[in-house]
């Protein structure tokens, strides 16, 4: 009887500590953008209204870039696909080359998405870009020499350009201006969730 009680107590303690651990991990995951908002106030406050269905990386991307837009999300998705395709850890084991019409925002916002997704940054000098019509990410995994080329589907670019033209017919509206453009926000969220095969093509090369 006594033993039974002890086993019950041990199970209770284990379940209790697991629950506490799960809660604290969960809180850490959300904390950056919810409960700990006050301690994050040292950072600039992005233009962003989170939605429960947003993927967990989206608030991080918006914190880095400053607003939600289709181009920055597109860059993230392509960069993420390229990094995963060659099994790179990111940051230091990659060299990234971006192609696209990136002379100025909003298209150039793509480059911020790629930096966050690959960890290759202008500060580390392991990312560069070159003018091209169709956006693409070329990523090399330095330890193995494996290369991934991820190219966006033309219809996705056409959709972004068309939506932007419809949404902001008044020229001279500054990039990232408030109020948030709902159509472009919706498109950004659509690009965040769209299936890889509908968003880009992927080529792999092994040396
Ligand atoms: Zn932007």
* Confidence label for 41 from pLDDT (cuts 50, 70 and 90): confident
Total tally of structural domains belonging to the chain: 1
Q: Is residue 5 part of a domain?
A: no
Cα 42 to ligand 1 centre (Å): 21
Cα 164 to ligand 1 centre (Å): 12
Cα 175 to ligand 1 centre (Å): 6
Q: Is the dihedral of CA 189, 193, 199, 201 positive or negative?
A: positive
- What's 103's domain CATH number? 3.30.1330.130
Alpha-carbon distance 71 to 160, whole Å?
Answer: 8
Q: Is residue 13 part of a domain?
A: no
Cα 199 to ligand 1 centre (Å): 19
Cα 73 to ligand 1 centre (Å): 9
Cα 181 to ligand 1 centre (Å): 12
Cα 4 to ligand 1 centre (Å): 61
Alpha-carbon distance 140 to 145, whole Å?
Answer: 6
Q: Is residue 79 part of a domain?
A: yes
Q: What residues are paired with 128 via a beta bridge?
A: 97
Q: Is residue 183 part of a domain?
A: yes
Cα 65 to ligand 1 centre (Å): 7
In SS3 terms, the chain reads as: CHHHHHHHHHHHHHHHHHHHHHHHHHHHHHHCCCHHHHHHHHCCCCECCCCCCCCCHHHHHHHHHCECCHHHHHHHHHHHHHHHHCCCCCCCCEEEEEEECCCCCCHHHHHHHHHHHHCCCCCCCCEEEEECCCCEEEEEECCCCCEEEEEECHHHHHHHHHHHHHHCCCCCCCCCCCCCCHHHHHHHHHHHHCCHHHHEEEEEECC
Structural domain harbouring 90 = 67-167+176-205
Instruction: Please give the mean pLDDT across all residues of the chain.
Output: 86
Assess whether pLDDT exceeds 90 at residue 72. Answer: yes
Q: Is residue 62 part of a domain?
A: no
Cα 16 to ligand 1 centre (Å): 44
Q: Is residue 29 part of a domain?
A: no
- For the segment 97-121, what is each residue's pLDDT rounded down to a tens digit? 999 999 999 999 999 999 999 999 9
- For the segment 154-192, what is each residue's pLDDT rounded down to a tens digit? 999 999 999 988 876 555 667 777 677 889 999 999 999
CA distance to 26, 32, 66, 184, per residue, from 19 (Å): 10, 21, 35, 40
Cα 112 to ligand 1 centre (Å): 8
Q: What is the pLDDT of residue 206?
A: 86
Q: Is residue 59 part of a domain?
A: no
Cα 89 to ligand 1 centre (Å): 26
Euclidean distance between the first and final Cα of the chain, in Å?
Answer: 67
Contacts of 109 (CB under 8 A, 6+ apart): 65, 69, 71, 72, 75, 175
Cα 11 to ligand 1 centre (Å): 51
Cα 85 to ligand 1 centre (Å): 26
Q: Is residue 38 part of a domain?
A: no
């Amino acid at each position: 009887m006594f033993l039974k009680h002890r086993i019950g107590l041990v199970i209770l303690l284990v379940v209790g500590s697991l629950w506490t651990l799960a809660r604290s991990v969960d809180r850490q995951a959300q904390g950056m953008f919810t409960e700990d908002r006050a301690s994050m106030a040292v950072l600039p406050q992005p233009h962003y209204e989170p939605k429960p269905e947003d993927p967990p990386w989206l608030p991080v991307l918006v914190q880095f870039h400053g607003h939600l837009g289709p181009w920055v999300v597109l860059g993230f998705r392509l960069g993420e696909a390229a990094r995963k395709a060659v099994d790179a850890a990111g940051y230091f084991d990659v060299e990234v080359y971006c192609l696209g019409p990136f002379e100025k925002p909003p298209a150039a916002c793509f480059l911020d998405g790629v930096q966050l997704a690959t960890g290759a940054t202008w500060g580390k000098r392991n990312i560069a870009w070159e003018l091209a019509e169709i956006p693409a990410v070329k990523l090399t995994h330095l330890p193995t020499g494996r290369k991934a080329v991820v190219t966006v589907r033309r219809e996705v670019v056409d959709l972004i350009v068309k939506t932007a033209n419809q949404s902001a017919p008044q020229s001279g509206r500054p990039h990232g201006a408030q109020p948030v453009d709902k159509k472009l926000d919706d498109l950004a969220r659509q690009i965040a969730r769209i299936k890889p095969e509908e968003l880009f093509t992927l080529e792999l090369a092994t040396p």
